[in-house]
Structure 1
Amino acid sequence: MTNITSVELNYLVFRYLQESGFTHSAFALGYEAGINKCPIDGNLVPPGALITFVQKGLQYLEMEANLTCQSETDMDEDFSFLQPLDLITKDVYALQQMIKDKKKSQQKDMDKEFDREHDEGELKHVREREKHDREKEREKDKERTEKDKEKRKQHEDHTLREMVTDQEDKVDVIKHEENGISGGSEPMDISTASTSRACEIPSSDVIILEGHTSEVCACAWSPAGSLLASGSGDSTARIWTIAEGASRSSLQNGPSNVLVLKHVKGKTNEKSKDVTTLDWNGDGTLLATGSYDGQARIWSSNGELKSILSKHKGPVFSLKWNKKGDYILTGSCDKTAIVWDVKAEECKQHFEFHSGPTLDVDWRNNVSFATSSTDSTIYVCKVGEKLPIKTFSGHQGEVNCVKWDPTGSLLASCSDDITAKIWSINQDKYVHNLRDHAKEIYTIRWSPTGPGTNNPNQQLLLASASFDSTVKLWDVELGRLICSLNGHRDPVYSVAFSPNGEYLASGSLDRSLHIWSLKEGKIAKTYTGNGGIFEVCWNKEGDKIAACFADNTVCVLDFRM
């Protein structure tokens, strides 16, 4: 029988393990041939230690064999937790415990990283607000210079008034014909450099709703009547009763006129509890809210919490009821959209197509919808379909907003790439590329006019609001600019058409709410509050406008021409 030395024995075990694919074991057992040096620390290995090497190698071999039921990737991940020295100094059970402990530690690090990413994924409008606040700081010197120029030109007031009058005369080119607004050969810049004080809404026609303890970022009128909902960073939504002829004194902090919908128990200053979005169902009986905690909630009109919808892993950025009222659609920072079955109070379908946070969602009809994302892509999806039924690619920046026209045949989108686009469900490329803004376009709205609306004899329009401080009106049939409304001084975050399509309200960071007469092409009414405006909305009757402000208030303006 041939004798074998301890060095040869160890080398044979080493080669066997290595050629069998167990490279970690081989590395632990191997040492420089013929020199009895451990490759781990370089020290001489006494012959009596060879059996320890073999035992450790066999134990580790057994451990590897027990892991063969896992995927190859999982095995690699398990082995990566161990150092060669561990293989020599610890038995297999200690090694297994080390793997478990290090996996737990790794998972904690991953959870922390996930939380960090979501903290960085601030709400889109908050993120943009901060960006443009910084921009405003850089432009302060320029503004001071402009103010100085205004002072030096005060003696030219008479000439300025004549210029404004002449400008308003030019607006007559935009005629309110039987079929709506039709532009002249060139788009108009509608300037309001010296808006008449007669346009200012008197304080007697303004109700200031106080009670929120943080900025109010969302508001919506109930389609059923006098209820107004608001959502705030204070972790609450509120339902205000705005009765006809209500006075300021009867509404301010009146407990009988407001319902507080608390999204967390007790007091909290956590940013993750912001109420980010809200929407009423079609008959005004239920209010849905989305929160930065990733949950959607359904409330009755009397403030009762009906259900909590939990599946998102990040803040909910957008939320919409379908017309039928059986589904709610949500879009989240976690890159997904979810359709919820309201009656069953559960997820109907989870859509995971985007590679970046989902910024906006909008129903096309009761079962299909569009989603937009920071990944520059728009998907059209349908309940029951596993893949998108349409993909729109063409934007070069984050797509902030998507809106279907009243008939569901055209989709409008706007982006940080400074364009708005109009898409047709019947073709892949955009129908029109609207490029007249100078900065990012934050939001868009279709007019309630044209086919499929209560105003079928008026022309269908698209309004876009931008960080360039302007609102622009577009002819969607021709894809051209009709006019630019240049009354704001800071980014415009919200626009809303009146129910009859004759007026447009716009709210800006300059604290001003302008109500534009589309027939005359100029400001009909204006109101200035004490903070930036994040959203404006009309009631169903068209005689009241609500605006939510950064100074924690909601204002209701009486609008009767």
Structure 2
Amino acid sequence: MANISTNIKIDIDYIGAACNCCPHSLDWQNGPRLIYAVTNSVALCSDIAPFSIRKTFSGHQARVNCVKWIRQEQRNSISDFYYFLSASVDKTICLWKGIDDDYRICTSLVGHQNSVTTLIGYQQSSNDNVYVASGSADSTVKIWCIANTLATCIHTLDLQNGFAITLEFVPLDNHKNVFLLFVATDKNTVNIYQVSNSVIEQVFVLSGHEDWIRSITIQKLTPLQWFVATCSQDNYIRIWQLSFDENNNQTNVDETILKLKRSSFALKNSDEFSINVNVELYSILLGHEEAIYGLCWYPNTDLKKVATTILSASMDKSMVLWTFDDNQKMYIDKARVGEVGGNTLGFYGCTFSPCGSYILGHGYEGALHLWKIEEIDNRINLVPQVINSGHFNTVEDCCWDKHSGRYLLSVSTDQTTRLHAEWKRDEIISWHEIGRPQIHGYEMKCLAFIGSNQQRFVSGADEKILRVFEAPKNFLENFSRITKINVDEDIARAQSLPEGANVPALGLSNKAIFDSDENQTTTIANDENPMTVDALYKEGFFKATVLSEPPLEEHLLQNTLWPEIQKLYGHGYEIIAVASNPSGSIVASSCKATQQNDAAIILWNTNTWKPVVRLVVHQLTVVRMVFSNDGRYLLSVSRDRSWSLFDVDESDFQARLHKRISSNNPYHKRIIWTCSFSHDDKYFITGARDQQIHVWRVKEKSDNDNEQPCEKNYLKLNDSVTAVTFASHLIQNDKYFVVAGLDNGSIFLYTWNEQISWQQITSIAPPLGFHLTVNQLCFRPSSLSSSSYYQLAGCSNDGTVRIFSISLS
């Protein structure tokens, strides 16, 4: 196998992914860019709106629980490196070092015996050591000192049977390498420790909360006056003031002034220093109705006075911006924002942007919520902004709209189908999720677009039925405004279609909403009895909206569903694969199977939605099916290590076996996961768990099941082949362009023809590529595609949907 001499440029156009559904999994304020955890990796976003993901960095074998920028007190120059931390269920912590969008693992911290759940880091200046505090489910807190790339655990706190929920780690300004460590435990208290390289000692306990403390944030008014804010599941925020007295003077307290009780503790370090610290409960804030998970002081900029503005995020679906009122001498909630509607829980965390002009929250289902802060005449307006979104679990399948690839659909085990498209404005183009056609109660497994002249798709989930959806009128109108793509023909055809859809209470089917329905559901007659079930539990969540930019999470949840037009019953077990022929007249489907009768492929007539043929050939589950580009053939691959090619007669909806290989064939020794036809339908390709790819001729046929591949020189890769596809053009006039995705997340680009066989062009690896199993790859059927430019979409177990642009010369 030779390497081909081709100039190639690969860029990432889009990475769609949600934040991991856990606290501490996002950070922005302490570093130059937004970072957040995405399954086993860390997503690094652009530094300009709409803050799209640029790269994802993976150094862990399991889910990332928390990410954190290392706080740097002094930066000597703009070329200094930044650092961030990631901690995982795999018991390890990675320290990443880099600048702009290029980061690499500097060192790994290994020592915890269980999942690492919280961490914090600090560096005085770019030449100093990095100090890290980490808390784990193994009931310990470890303090690490990292010099260059050498990491040393200098202290371990044993919390016996308890554990640390959150940490804060703050240096004493006038004493090098001496810190105060704040540890919130499951005892509803914050333990304060004095930490140096040689000693760790508990000096005080902050008590008062009645439930777990979820976040601690500290801001220094001066080096000798700190404000410590904590938030808890008891719905309260408490703010303490710490006053440091380095001369140990006893302050004269005016007994006539009514003040909350004061306490004090001493910091000592042999004979070097002795500091008295006064602790005073400064304020208690109550404004949330559920547990508060996120808390964040306004960043240290010149825009606001220090310790006067704080942001909180709660499970009651709201975020509150509190500011200190000098007249009333108390914190008041200046602005309140949050989710409205939907069946989701609230926020897991919040942060300001580094400059303090944005606030960001991340929610229970991984969604990001961004607002811009606008201050007018001492009033604060929070303006919703567009930001990246995506699936929060394994993405199982994706496919392009067959009409020139106007948008991409993807399905996931997060029980949703999502629609991704370009947002065009002022010569700027960025990809976004602009619709959520299906929000289901089962994990989604597969989908297929039906035909090129109608906006329909069919999807399968962990249930026995297939569901068919059609685009509503409101979606098509908004799609046209956002993407600047002319869909007048579709809108004209959609005049008889519903405006939108909603999911009825206790239902799984998207119910169509027409104009008259919408008006009825959004108005209540005066004489209507409000105590009836229909009046109390309205089903009319949908409201037609006019959008010129990608919808926010609330709109995606409620206003972008597609009505379900058909259910297809026929399979006995959960649906695994589905495919549609190019004209959209036939849909093929398969389900889980352990015996031949259950492994039947069912062909459906999309005019009548009736099953027309059962193809019983395979012994075990059919995992992938694909129709040829002319619609004359259907190819299926199975867990039984065989493939089957069927002749399909579209005119009378019949199909018969054309040729196949048996389960004991000498070519594929393991499960065949994937298959694809060449653009001219002369060849098809199969990829399997045995790490091999074979190319087969479509027309040639042997008398028995001993079909032979085109040439003996098969392609052997370094892991299971889980996705493979042909491009829509020949390159260099006579070579087919083939892309293969592997179980380890790698993507390989090859050329192939029968004379020269396989030639590798290049590969796509992290941080641009996937980190876990590639589940599907598909080229965009766009008019922009040529023999030198392609757009390749893919989805993966790493929870991302990615679109690559490939330029060949």
Q: Shorter-chain TM-score: what band?
A: 0.3 to 0.5
Higher helix share: 1
Provide TM-score, normalisation by structure 2. Answer: 0.32
Higher Rg: 1
Provide TM-score, normalisation by structure 1. Answer: 0.45
| More RCO (CA 8 Å, sep 6+) | 1
Higher strand share: 2
